[in-house]
């Protein structure tokens, strides 16, 4: 999975994998190593377990292996839980940290055996980076500023015919005015790293909120979710779009420039990041949509529609509350919700009805009296009515076609 592993967008993918493993409940565990160094590791685990329970509808246990320095009992307990599970899930955090903790332990072998003997391994975000022969140390390059380099990965995919370096977050656009595609590397640094790969190794990119689900017995794969899976070799890319069904061998064929069934788009060369490229984060997009609906409802003086948009925003936040991504998307969504609540409060004070509609019957009645006065050439009475309306914030406009009126900008709403 490229990202979004604990969001509503990927729940269907998790259910599909669980269904392929047989009758529920399926013995499944969360492996917490990639984020084991974080102070909020307990919270991330709790959110992930709650997500699988409440959103996916499956109970997950915990195989806790946060540090290789843990005591023997803790290590052996994690090994047993991984060995006994039919499905192992691991996701966010730091790929280099995870590889350091797993090095020299039983975990790489246990994960490989899971795939050889029957079972499933779901690796997302940081953990997905560790799957291939080589791994990008994302934190060190993007945050610390170290020179781009490869680390040795777990290499779980070469045995199934895929000598690859897996790059999740492939379509990332969070950088805004700078290129953060390819898991925050950008084109320049990815090209540098690509030149260092052995001839047989290629890049397997997975977009955010997208999964490449591979059935090793059938030798087939499916691209599921919102984005694409990209095979890149020597700067050339072949893109498999969401919904594509392919043979695992198609990925290798694409790396060698051969045409394959299931290929949705083939590009000769990777293009530079487009300015203002839209974010791939579905949460941000949904929040923006609901904010637009809310604003339009206020302009239309449609209080029920504004309330519905606010409730939908709250439900969206709740649905995404399990997301273990470290972005600020949820914080922005909560800020949008608070703004909507404040606007609803102001609306309650001022009133939602158009003031013009409220005063229209009274203005129309006075205009009838003004017409009568003018017809009787009682100009002083007609002018008095105009003056009284102007004092009330209502401006009259006389023309050969008749008289129109409008509320002045200073007219109080209530």
Q: Which residue has the tokens 């790969």?
A: 197
Q: Running along the chain, 414 residues long, what does each successive block of 10 average in pLDDT?
A: 92 95 94 96 95 95 96 96 97 96 96 94 97 95 93 96 96 83 93 95 96 95 95 94 94 87 48 42 83 85 87 85 70 83 78 74 90 90 90 88 81 48
Question: Which of 348, 374, 395 represents a domain boundary (last residue)?
Answer: 348
Residue 214 lies in a domain: yes
pLDDT of residue 286: 86
Token readout for 334 is 């909560």
Shortest CA distance to 148 belongs to which of 106, 199, 201, 184?
184
Question: Which of 205, 240, 267 represents a domain boundary (last residue)?
Answer: 267
Q: Do 171 and 263 belong to one domain?
A: yes
CA 153 to chain CA centroid, nearest Å: 26
Gap between the Cα atoms of 207 and 172, Å rounded: 7
Domain count, the chain: 3
pLDDT of residue 200: 95
Gap between the Cα atoms of 324 and 48, Å rounded: 7
Phi, psi of 150 (to 5 degrees): -100, 150
Residue 237 lies in a domain: yes
pLDDT of residue 352: 63
Q: Do 328 and 244 belong to one domain?
A: no
Q: Do 213 and 343 belong to one domain?
A: no
Gap between the Cα atoms of 133 and 115, Å rounded: 16
Element holding 67 (H helix, E strand) = none
Residue 62: CATH number of its domain = 3.40.50.880
Residue 276 lies in a domain: no
Q: Do 251 and 208 belong to one domain?
A: yes
Q: Do 84 and 191 belong to one domain?
A: yes
Residue 2 lies in a domain: no
Element holding 10 (H helix, E strand) = none
Q: Are 89 and 28 in contact (CB under 8 A)?
A: yes
Q: Do 29 and 134 belong to one domain?
A: yes
**Tally of helices (H runs) and strands (E runs) in the chain:** 15, 16
Q: Do 226 and 246 belong to one domain?
A: yes
Torsion over CA: 255, 257, 262, 263 (sign): positive
Q: Do 84 and 125 belong to one domain?
A: yes
Q: What is the domain extent for residue 111?
A: 8-267
Q: Do 33 and 171 belong to one domain?
A: yes
């Amino acid at each position: 999975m490229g990202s979004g592993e604990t969001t509503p967008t990927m729940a269907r993918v998790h259910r599909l994998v669980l269904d392929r493993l047989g009758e529920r409940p399926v013995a499944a565990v969360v492996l917490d190593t990639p984020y084991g160094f974080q102070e909020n590791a307990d919270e991330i685990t709790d959110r992930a377990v709650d997500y699988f329970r409440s959103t996916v509808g499956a109970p997950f246990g915990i195989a806790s292996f946060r540090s290789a320095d843990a005591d023997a009992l803790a290590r052996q307990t994690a090994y047993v839980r991984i060995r006994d599970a039919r499905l192992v899930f691991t996701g966010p955090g730091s790929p280099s940290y995870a590889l350091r903790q797993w090095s020299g332990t039983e975990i790489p072998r246990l994960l490989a055996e899971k795939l050889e003997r029957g079972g499933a391994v779901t690796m997302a975000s940081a953990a997905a980076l560790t799957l291939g022969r080589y791994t990008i140390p994302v934190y060190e390059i993007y945050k610390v500023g170290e020179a781009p380099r490869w680390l040795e990965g777990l290499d779980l995919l070469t045995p199934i015919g895929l000598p690859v370096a897996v790059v999740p977050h492939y379509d990332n656009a969070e950088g805004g005015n700078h290129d953060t595609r390819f898991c925050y590397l950008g084109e320049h640094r990815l090209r540098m790293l690509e030149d260092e790969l052995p001839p047989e190794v290629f890049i397997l990119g997975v977009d955010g909120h997208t999964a490449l689900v591979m059935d090793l017995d059938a030798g087939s794969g499916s691209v599921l979710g919102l984005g694409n899976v990209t095979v890149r070799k020597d700067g050339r890319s072949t893109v498999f779009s969401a919904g594509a069904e392919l043979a695992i061998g198609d990925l290798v064929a694409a790396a060698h420039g051969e045409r394959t069934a299931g290929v949705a788009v083939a590009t000769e060369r990777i293009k530079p990041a487009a300015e203002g490229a839209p974010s791939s984060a579905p949460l941000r997009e949904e929040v923006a949509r609901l904010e637009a609906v809310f604003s339009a409802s206020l302009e239309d003086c449609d209080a029920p529609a504004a309330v519905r948009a606010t409730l939908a925003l709250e439900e969206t936040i709740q649905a995404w509350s399990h997301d273990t991504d470290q972005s600020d998307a949820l914080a922005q969504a909560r800020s949008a919700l608070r703004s909507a609540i404040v606007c609803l409060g102001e609306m309650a004070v001022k009133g939602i009805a158009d003031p013009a509609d409220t005063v229209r019957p009274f203005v129309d009645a006075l205009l009838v009296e003004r017409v009568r006065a003018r017809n009787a050439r009682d100009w002083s009475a007609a002018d008095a009515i105009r003056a009284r309306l102007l004092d009330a914030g209502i401006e009259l406009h006389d023309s050969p076609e008749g008289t129109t009126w409008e509320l002045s900008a200073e007219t109080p709403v209530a």
